[in-house]
Structure 1
Amino acid sequence: MSVMSPRDTQMAIEFTYSRKFIDGYIRQEIEANPDLMDKVREGVARLEHWMSQTYYESKNRRLEQLKTLDLEKLVMDCFVGVAYCQFPELFTSITAQLAGRLGFSDREDGIKTIAEIMAVLCMTDAFDILKENAQASLMIQCRFMLSDKLVGYIQQSAYLPPMVCVPQTIKHNRQSGYLTHDDSVILGPRNHHSKDVCLDVLNKQNQTPLRIDTDFLCTIEEDPTFEIDTTEKAKMWRNFKRKSYEFYLLMAKKTGTVHLTNKYDKRGRMYAQGYHISTQGTAFKKTMLEFAEQEVVEGVPSS
């Protein structure tokens, strides 16, 4: 029986979990569906009407920024984002994710504006904005149908886990180390530049092999680091914990070593890129990762 190489395994993981691919699959299904394209065009018309009205000064300034955008692309982006809500998801979470698509310099303005845009686009019946009771949080849920295969991809999509092969060498500021897509080495959608940054340090950090401490995972259970005082928080924690353990098992089974990719913020500070598995997460997340190439440390004082 042939065994997949670490590189082939990594390719399969990226195609399976990366939203960069799944977004494209969703867009293709929407474009192939005449009824959904009618909803996209209706959404554009509703946004144009909404933007043509006069509001208070700060809102007028925010809407003025929208006039430079391709509204059909914006509506399509919103529909693609909503497609991930096959079950009710927090409205605030979805709008925060979509806000970056506006490219506003002020993140608060971006979130506020995308929330208003989603309220307008809800009138197309492509999705619902729900509230169970007066105390409940606003939720959002997709209403349009997608193929069963695509829904399966959506349900397993996630922030990419660490790489199971050595990351590609980064040679310029628009590379990620991943095999199937490139990305800026600088955090923040508006912070990218092509000036000199220490790519050699990123490459050295990216290529440092780590391993999952399975003995630790079999001994200690992961607990939340925050108070779970609402049903929404309880659901979010269950989903996060389930996905985390799914990736712990995947990484432990696929390879003996893993590699975290890294990026700089605009001040030059380096951050490991990980969500379910990271050296810069909670104490539990940090403890479950070890250097793959271990050595006995000598010369350390006993007290």
Structure 2
Amino acid sequence: MTQRMLPRDTQLANEYTFSRKFIDGYILKEIESNPDMIAKVNHGVQLLTDWLAKDHGYASKNHRLAQLADIDLEELVKQLFVGVAYCQTPELFTSVTAMLAGRVKFDDKADSILTVAEIMSVLCLTDAFDIIKGEASDSLVIQSNIPLSDQLLRYVVQSGYLPPMVCEPEHVSSNYDSGYLTHNDCLILGKANGHSGDICLDVINKQNSVALKLDLDFLKTVEEEPAHDLDTPEKAQQWAEFKRQSYQRYLLIAQQGNQFWLTNKVDKRGRLYSQGYHITTQGSGFKKAMIEFAEEEIVEGVPDAWTT
């Protein structure tokens, strides 16, 4: 008989496997141990140095790029290479640059995205990745040329938003705990909204402690459909990938015992949000319908008026 790992050990394995907080480190280690990639990093630093030294003709652009003056360009290039290494298949250039913008510490998000898009256009000359445009009507896509080991490639392919926890979350005692076993995070949504004031941690702990399960009969008989029109090829591609990842997560949770916990955060107004993506109680009707309480109880004492 196959024996299942203890829930806490399974959760640790999930975090090390799916969390980009760890996979980023694995990718960086392989980049730094590859002489060819170190040469590309150095080439990228020189390209950026020359580019930033130019007068770009617009005071606004010169001012925006001046914010890079205090940034370690070598570290920046490495971080952008780590981010683009996830593009093992062509990804929309706009989506990738928006994702990478968080690696440039600008106060203004729009400035970050625009600047990263420009930087990636410069770094493309290193041949660490390609920026591709097919037909005239096609959107720009980006694809990595960074060599990764087979094991790391498997991690990259399955990386993304962490699946729900398969053991009860850790007790959170400050605004900068997460409930996860290997890392902490701010419990207040919004990059600039963190603080140490009262956010009712007792409510978060109570909500985090509710065990849930998937309705496997529902998942076997009802197919997940998009909630919005897929009126462009890009939207259809994004939906197909999201659906594929979702069913992989459903299968994972089922194989790991079909009992899970969602962690929770609050926004700056105190409203509570479960932290799920593929599996969540606050998604589409399908996402809500597939989740049940793990510990079922018969509801009693319901007024007759509610049943008519």
TM-score by length of 2: 0.94
Could you say which residue in structure 2 is the equivalent of 1:93? 95
Q: Percent identity?
A: 58
Residue 112 of structure 2 aligns with an amino acid whose one-letter code is G
| Residue correspondence of structure 1 range 231-242 to structure 2 within 5 A | 231-242=233-244
Separation in structure 2 between the aligned mates of residue 256 and residue 118 of structure 1, nearest angstrom: 42
Could you say which residue in structure 1 is the equivalent of 2:122? 120
Could you say which residue in structure 2 is the equivalent of 1:191? 193
Separation in structure 1 between the aligned mates of residue 191 and residue 16 of structure 2, nearest angstrom: 23
Match 2:73 to one of 64, 71, 74: 71
Could you say which residue in structure 2 is the equivalent of 1:4? 5
Q: CA deviation at 1:211?
A: 1.1
Separation in structure 1 between the aligned mates of residue 84 and residue 255 of structure 2, nearest angstrom: 33
Residue 251 of structure 1 aligns with an amino acid whose one-letter code is I
Could you say which residue in structure 1 is the equivalent of 2:219? 217
Could you say which residue in structure 2 is the equivalent of 1:26? 27
Residue 204 of structure 2 aligns with an amino acid whose one-letter code is L
Separation in structure 2 between the aligned mates of residue 36 and residue 160 of structure 1, nearest angstrom: 29
Residue 75 of structure 1 aligns with an amino acid whose one-letter code is V
The SS at the match of 1:66 is coil
Task: Note if 1:38 corresponds to 2:39.
Answer: yes
Could you say which residue in structure 1 is the equivalent of 2:253? 251
Q: CA deviation at 1:281?
A: 0.9
Residue 40 of structure 2 aligns with an amino acid whose one-letter code is K
| Residue correspondence of structure 1 range 82-161 to structure 2 within 5 A | 82-161=84-163
Separation in structure 1 between the aligned mates of residue 263 and residue 50 of structure 2, nearest angstrom: 44
Separation in structure 2 between the aligned mates of residue 237 and residue 43 of structure 1, nearest angstrom: 34
How large is the RMSD of aligned CA atoms in angstroms?
A: 1.5
Residue 231 of structure 2 aligns with an amino acid whose one-letter code is D
Match 2:182 to one of 180, 183, 189: 180
Equivalent residues of 1:167, 1:207 under 8 A apart: yes
Separation in structure 1 between the aligned mates of residue 4 and residue 127 of structure 2, nearest angstrom: 47
Q: CA deviation at 1:196?
A: 2.9
> Deviation string for 1:131-174 (max 9, x for gaps)?
11111111000112111111111111121111111000111222
Q: CA deviation at 1:227?
A: 1.7
Residue 35 of structure 1 aligns with an amino acid whose one-letter code is D
Equivalent residues of 2:4, 2:256 under 8 A apart: no
Q: CA deviation at 1:97?
A: 0.8
Separation in structure 2 between the aligned mates of residue 49 and residue 287 of structure 1, nearest angstrom: 55
Matched pairs, number: 303
